[in-house]
Amino acid sequence: MAYQDLQQQKLKTIKVKHFNDHITIIKRSNVISILYLTVFSLIWCVPSFLGFFLGIIKGNVEIILWALLFVLSGILILYYTITLWINRTYIIVDDKGISAHYKPLPLPQVQDVAIKLIKLEGLKIEKKVSDNQNGTSTTYEIHVISSNNTSKKLIKLRDYDEALFIKKTIENYLNIKDDSQEGEVSSVG
Amino acid (1-letter code) at residue 110:
V
- Global pTM value: 0.80
pLDDT of residue 128: 92
Taking CA atoms, 47 is separated from 26, 40, 140, 189, in Å, by 36, 12, 37, 43
Give the mean model confidence (pLDDT) for residues 128-133: 87
Look at residue 11 and tell me whether its pLDDT is greater than 80.
no
Q: Which fold has domain 3-29+87-174?
A: PH-domain like (2.30.29)
User: What angle in degrees, to the nearest 10, is found between the helix axes of 31-58 and 61-86?
Assistant: 160
Q: Is the pLDDT of residue 106 over 70?
A: yes
Averaged pLDDT for residues 80-90? 93
The three state secondary structure string of the chain is CCHHHHHHHCCCCEEEEECCCEEEEEECCCHHHHHHHHHHHHHHHHHHHHHHHHHHHHCCHHHHHHHHHHHHHHHHHHHHHHHHHHCEEEEEEECCEEEEEEECCCCCCCCCEEEEHHHEEEEEEEEEEEEECCEEEEEEEEEEEECCCCEEEEEEECCHHHHHHHHHHHHHHHCCCCCCCCCCCCCCC
Q: What angle do CA 86, 162, 146 make, to 5 degrees?
A: 100
> Is residue 113 within 8 Å of 170, Cβ to Cβ?
no
Say what percent of the chain tops pLDDT 70.
89
